[in-house]
Structure 1
Amino acid sequence: MIRNFYKSLLALAVVVTISFSNAFAQDSTATAAAPAGGGDAAKGEQLFKGNCAQCHAANSEQIVGPGLAGIESRRDLAWLKKWINNPMGVVASGDKYAVDLFNRFNKTQMTAFPNFTDDDVKSIVAYVNQVNAAPATDPNKGPVTTTAASDTGSGKFVNVILIALLVIMGLVLIALLGILQLLNKLSGKTGGAAPSTSFGEKFQTGLKDVFANRTVRIAITWVFILLATKATFDGLYGIGVHQGYAPKQPISFSHKLHAGEMKINCAYCHTGVYKGKQSGIPSANICMNCHNTIKRESPEIQKIYTAIETNKPIEWVRVHNLPDLAYFNHAQHTNVGGLECKDCHGDIEKMEVVQQRSTLTMGWCVDCHRKTEVNGKDNAYYDKLMEAHSAVSKGSMKVEDIGGLECARCHY
């Protein structure tokens, strides 16, 4: 009987898992966006974000130039291609629409893209149409993508699986209590008393029998001691570690927008990242290189204007902060070592609010020095070091092999 029960329970688990997997697959298929007609919208998105997004919005919002929503109804594809390939040439030809557009936007010259083909233009238009055909969203957040839908479906799927597992665990617990009651009867512990028919009484009796067992009590005590000890040591090791720290800044600056969507290189704002000890905090003048024309009326941009007019620096809150006893040089790691910003700071281009992703502890740094290979190619400084290392080892030369684990490297 018990064997048949467990077979049924296993079959139920398999059926539940398969059912929810099929439901998840159908939900993912339903949320996938169909390609836009007249052009490759996916290709258009890449072209738009790489070349157009700095000055144009895919919706009707005006940035440096006009928003592109409904552009296909205003101009045909042939005119758009001429304009994108050589905008000033179209203005010089006397085209009324082009001249009016040029004058309306303070005679700001649009960058020419002579290599854009008919297919490229169609793809950009398809992407713009796809964005504006999507359900209304906050324009600052951009279009809804299939990735977000997939993530949501995945989250629902995980929740359903967890609920199913909890139900199965409950059934297993009931089965174990039933087996315990059966064993008690067989061993004569019931003393010939009438069997209890109440589920609550059975449950209470089963729990009492379990906790009355000396071995069970000792095991629970040791589990509690081990968990308490682990929590204590985790707390001690966590002193001074600020992983996950994401303070509120005086200006809501989005790295996701600037470094991610706009593809602005980190060194454009953090000018010392490849040539100095500090990466540097950008001055308000660097912001004004773009924002003297882009979104000037934004409340956040007005904070920059106020800082310039009052001659007061913007009080940015530092996120990544090493103790004074540790020496760190950005140029040594980014320029010489060839590390990327995300190796230490995480996916900055995906962060709306910057947070500390790595622990930045000594153990974390030492572990990196043990694993990172030294790139000595085309660098005469490392020639003799590489030769000496090859004489004693067949493996690649790591940072630890050139003194990367010496205390004085970081503490002096």
Structure 2
Amino acid sequence: MNSFLSRTSYWVLALFLALAGSATAQDATSAATVSQQGVTPGGAAGANPATGGGDAAAIQAGDALFKANCTQCHAVNEKVVGPALAGITKRRQIPWLVKWVKNPAKVIASGDEYAVKLFNDYGKQQMPSFALSDQEITSIMAWVTSQEGQKTVADGGGAGVTKENQTATDGQDGSGAGAGKYADVLLIVLVVVLIVLVVTLVIIANLMKDVLRGRKDLDGRDVEILEQRFDWAGLYKSTALRGIVGAVVALALLYAGVQSVMAVGLTQGYQPTQPIAFSHKLHAGENNINCAYCHTSVYKGKSANIPSANICMNCHSQIKTESPEIKKIYRAIERKQPIQWVRVHNLPDLAYFNHSQHTQVGGIQCQTCHGPIQNMEVVYQYSALTMGWCINCHRETPLNTKGNAYYDNLVKLHDKSNNAVPFTVSSNGGTECSKCHY
């Protein structure tokens, strides 16, 4: 009987490994396909290459810049919040467009006839300024020119994508979804098969025992093995087991006590109810609105400011104007009262923190500290924001010193004594007390 059960167990194990290997291979194939197609999570799939006019690299760069800065209000071949951009380089010269993108208020104030007419035609709704270089603006215009005349379909963000790109993207998404669905079905079937096999083995074992009990040629030792039962009473009365259980319970209580004491003053997971039901998932996730569009000082200020109501009205003067939540913005503007947003991320006054130093100089992405903000319906504090959390980041994050002569001698001195260790924020004094407490 033991030999039979052993062989059966081997076959079950082999079947499990074969099915699991098949599911893993399917997932790996799907991942490889996605990698080959160049689609990354949260990224823009199927970027349209240059189709004419302008340098291919510039057009590709313009595509990314347009999606990061312009898609909230503009499309190429159709009107969204702002006018359609098709033919913009024919209506206006590039130098004028550069001035307009960098500071539209200044162009309007100068009395420029075209700018004033545009301002009045769109309900005196002023486009925000963008800190883009001349080359970046030129790249955007090159991409816009390459997209003129192509049919567009809505992409959920209001800006529209070309029909060809949409078809390619749909095909990729469908393929990925089909592969994922196949893997899920395979895993469910695998679990069901394993449950059936376990039940079958138990039934077979009980049948074999019944067969053996009916035999008359078994000696006393065989009968003893066949009828043996696990001594639960002896296990319960065991002094060693009671000691182990007591020690585990004591350690668990001690650990819980220490954790509760260490968590005093921590607000990780804090998720207050806001006065207006604003969804980051909808705005930053589905509509791909750049963080800096609303939090205008995120790359240049000590703190990332809370957006004012007029930034909301850049879009919502024309979009969802009848929504009960949007009407709260109208009421705040009419009463000339700021919206009482509840602050989520709070640092103690004894700690100095500069937001732009991390985002602009350090190149830290929003999600590093704020978590998957683009997936949050209601924002909550994702990270611990403790001193230890900050220090660990300073110890592990390498500094980008290329092209900055300020760091040349520091890097040389560091490499001379610690050549095997990367030059991190800590190497530059980023863990000294006076860096944050002074």
Q: Which range, TM-score by smaller chain?
A: 0.5 to 0.7
Q: 1:336 aligns with which of 361, 366, 371?
A: 361
Counterpart selection for 1:270 from 280, 291, 295: 295
Q: Per-residue displacement from partner, 1:236-258 (whole Å, max 9, x unpaired)?
A: 33333333333222222222332
Matches within 5 A, 1:136-285: 206-285=231-310
Task: Indicate how the Cα distance of structure 1 residues 229 and 335 shifts in structure 2: closer, same or farther if over 3 A, else same.
Answer: same
Aligned counterpart in structure 2 of residue 114 of structure 1, from 125, 142, 145: 145
Does 2:425 match 1:399?
Answer: yes
Aligned mates of 1:385, 1:23 — CA distance in 2: 51
Give the corresponding residue for 2:382.
Answer: 357
Displacement of 1:28 after TM fit?
A: 13
Identify if the C-alpha distance between structure 1 residues 408 and 151 changes in structure 2 by more than 3 Å, giving closer, same or farther: farther
1:50–1:262 contact (8 Å) kept in structure 2: no
- How many angstroms does 1:365 deviate by? 0.7
Q: Displacement, 1:162?
A: 7.0
- 1:257–1:231 Cα change, 3 Å: same
2:204 & 2:437 partners in 1: Cα distance? Answer: 61
Deviations along 1:62-113, whole A, 9 cap, x unmatched?
Answer: 96499xxxxxxxxxxxxxxxx9844999xxxxxxxxxxxxxxxx9769x993
Q: Which residue of 2 aligns with 1:38?
A: none
Give the structure 2 partner of residue 93 of structure 1: none
SS at match of 1:275: coil
Matched, 1:311 2:349: no
Q: What CA distance in whole angstroms lies between the structure 2 residues aligned with 1:160 and 1:234?
A: 41
In the alignment, structure 1 residue 408 sits paired with structure 2 residue 434: yes
Residue 214 of structure 1 deviates from its aligned partner by 3.4
For the residue of structure 1 that corresponds to 2:353, the secondary structure is coil
Alpha-carbon contact 2:72-2:289 (below 8 Å) kept: no
SS of residue in 1 equivalent to 2:145: coil
1:12 aligns with 2:37: no
CA positional deviation for 1:289: 1.9
Alpha-carbon separation, structure 2, partners of 1:242 and 1:360:
9
Post-superposition shift, 1:307?
0.8
Paired residues, number: 343
Conservation of the 8 A alpha-carbon contact between 2:397 and 2:425: yes
Residue identity over aligned pairs, in percent, reads 42
Contact 1:255-1:348 within 8 A present in 2 as well: yes
**Is the contact between residue 295 and residue 304 of structure 2 (CA under 8 Å) also seen in structure 1?**
yes
Aligned mate of 2:163, from 120, 125, 132: 125
Letter in 2 for 1:316: W
Rounded Cα–Cα distance in structure 1 between residues aligned with 2:150 and 2:413: 56
Letter in 1 for 2:391: V
Deviation at 1:117, TM superposition (A): 6.8
TM-score (ref. length: structure 2): 0.60
RMSD: 5.1
**Partner SS for 1:294:** coil
Once residues 309 and 152 of structure 1 are traced to their aligned partners in structure 2, the CA distance between those partners, rounded to angstroms, is 51
Q: Matched residue of 1:114: which SS? A: helix
Q: Which runs of 5+ in 1 are unaligned?
A: 30-40, 67-82, 90-105, 134-143, 180-184, 197-201
CA distance in 2, matches of 1:304, 1:297: 11
Judged with a 3 Å threshold, the aligned counterparts in structure 2 of structure 1 residues 119 and 20 are, in CA distance, closer, same or farther, namely farther
Is 2:395 aligned against 1:370? Answer: yes
Letter in 2 for 1:124: T
Contact 2:86 2:149 in 1 (8 A): no
Which stretch shifts more, 326-335 or 158-167?
Answer: 158-167
Relative to structure 1, is the Cα distance of residues 340 and 250 closer, same or farther in structure 2, using a 3 angstrom cutoff? Answer: same
Whether contact under 8 Å (1:28, 1:149) holds in the other structure is no
Give the CA deviation at 1:279: 1.0
Distance in 2 between the 1:401 and 1:223 partners?
A: 41
**Structure 2 counterpart of 1:5, which letter?**
L
Kept in 1, the 8 Å contact 2:281–2:375? The answer is yes
Residue 362 of structure 2 aligns to which amino acid in structure 1? G
Give the deviation of 1:369 after TM superposition.
0.8
Seen in structure 2, the aligned counterparts of structure 1 residues 353 and 14 have a Cα distance that, compared at 3 Å, is farther
**For residues 120-160 of structure 1, what are the alpha-carbon distances to aligned partners after superposition, in whole Å with 9 as ceiling and x for unaligned?**
759733677899x9xxxxxxxxxx97767766776777677
C-alpha distance in 2 between matches for 1:410 and 1:176 = 68
Q: Matched residues in 2 for 1:364 and 1:174: separation? A: 54
Partners in 1 of 2:314 and 2:344 — Cα distance? Answer: 25
State the AA in 2 paired with 1:355.
Answer: Y
Cα displacement string for residues 308-365 of structure 1 (whole angstroms, at most 9, x for unaligned residues) = 1122221112221222322211122122222222221123233332222222111111
Distance 1:231 1:385, change over 3 A: same
Shift in Å at residue 290 of structure 1? 2.1
User: 1:271-320: CA deviations, max 9, x gaps?
Assistant: 22222221111111111222222222222211111111122221112221
